[in-house]
Amino acid sequence: MTPRAPLRGLCAAALMAALLLGGCATTTPNTENPRVASDPWEGFNRKVFAFNEVLDEKVARPVAETYRDVVPQLVRTGVGNFIGNIGDLWSAANHLLQGKLQAGVEMGIRFVTNSFFGLGGVLDPASEMGLTRRSEDFGQTLAVWGVGAGPYVVLPLLGPSTVRDSTGLVVDRQVAPSVLFAAESDRYAMTTLEIVHGRSVLLGTTALLSIVALDKYSFTREAWLSRRQDQIFDGAPPLETFEDIEDSNPAPSNAK
């Protein structure tokens, strides 16, 4: 088994579980509400959401809070910059795959600049030069290619997604920061650091969510689907929002 196999297996298993169990769901979509219509597996998704909430409360959030409180801000900023820099290279590739040539070239220059002049990406001189981060993932690329989102699904451990974006996630993980390390233990350590750092960034957001949301599951679904639409259409989703939830619309323009 290769060092990347466990993580690939986790993503694939999560996706297959969602597909298999979701296929057995009997929930009838509510076509009057496009958000609900995009979530025909709500019964299953709520159970996974509840499991993830317990895991977050007992493990992920306490570890992230400890990381935030113990690790100096300067170090945490460097960790975020390093992780983001690896993502910039993959973002450049996705921009190019989507036909966004200028954005792809700019993200490539950003990666090279931070890699050579930012101590391997720990510093971020590219932002000071006006090369802002414009992240793209393979799920967004699939959307531009015309692949429909499919049903909304909550993945065990991984959280909100769709069938399309779950497939994209498997590809995204093949170019994650952990692939830079040869030793399996180092790969696991890097993946753990990614998860802990990412969770620490969201501590304020999730705390607010717990206060304002009457139904945390529905609120999270609405927010995630809206944000995903915004990402796919580069901040300018079409006005026919209620008709586009299931991605029946034409592929978004390649213009940034």
Residue 255 has pLDDT above 70, yes or no: no
**Contact partners, residue 234, CB within 8 Å, separation at least 6:** 252, 256
Name which of 5-19, 80-94, 135-149, 190-204 the model is least confident about. Answer: 5-19
Segment 206-229 shows an average pLDDT of 86
Please choose, from the candidates 197, 237, 222, 208, the residue with its C-alpha nearest in 3D space to the C-alpha of residue 66: 197
Segment 84-90 shows an average pLDDT of 96
Cα(153)–Cα(15) distance, rounded to whole angstroms? 9
Check residue 240 and give its pLDDT.
Answer: 55
Residue 8 has pLDDT above 90, yes or no: no
> Residue 197's CB: how many other CB atoms inside 10 A?
18
Check residue 24 and give its pLDDT.
Answer: 38
Residue 18 has pLDDT above 90, yes or no: no
DSSP 8-state class, residue 239: S
Q: 160 - beta bridge partners?
A: 154
DSSP 8-state class, residue 256: -
Check residue 30 and give its pLDDT.
Answer: 46
Check residue 141 and give its pLDDT.
Answer: 97
Token pair recorded at residue 247: 């991605």
Higher-pLDDT residue of 239, 146: 146
For the chain, give the mean pLDDT: 84
Q: 155 - beta bridge partners?
A: 159
Check residue 239 and give its pLDDT.
Answer: 66
Residue 211 has pLDDT above 90, yes or no: no
What are φ and ψ of residue 162, in 5° steps?
Answer: -130, 170
**Contact partners, residue 199, CB within 8 Å, separation at least 6:** 56, 60, 61, 63, 64
User: Which band of pLDDT confidence, cut at 50, 70 and 90, is reported for residue 252?
Assistant: low
Query: Distance from first CA to last CA of the chain, Å, rounded?
Result: 41
- The gap from C-alpha 56 to its chain's centroid, in whole angstroms, comes to 17
Segment 231-253 shows an average pLDDT of 65
Tell me the C-alpha to C-alpha distance, in Å, between residue 137 and each of 62, 175, 209: 29, 11, 25
pTM, whole model, 2 decimals?
A: 0.78
DSSP 8-state class, residue 179: G
**Angle of the 42-55 helix axis to the 5-23 helix axis, nearest 10:** 140
Check residue 254 and give its pLDDT.
Answer: 58
Give pLDDT tens digits for 44-53: 999 999 999 9
Check residue 246 and give its pLDDT.
Answer: 52
Give pLDDT tens digits for 154-170: 999 899 999 999 999 99
Residue 178 has pLDDT above 50, yes or no: yes
CB burial of residue 31 (10 Å; 0-12, 13-18, 19+): exposed
Check residue 210 and give its pLDDT.
Answer: 74
Check residue 128 and give its pLDDT.
Answer: 94
Segment 184-206 shows an average pLDDT of 92
Token pair recorded at residue 83: 């992780």
Give pLDDT tens digits for 224-234: 999 999 999 98
Domain boundaries, the chain: 36-235
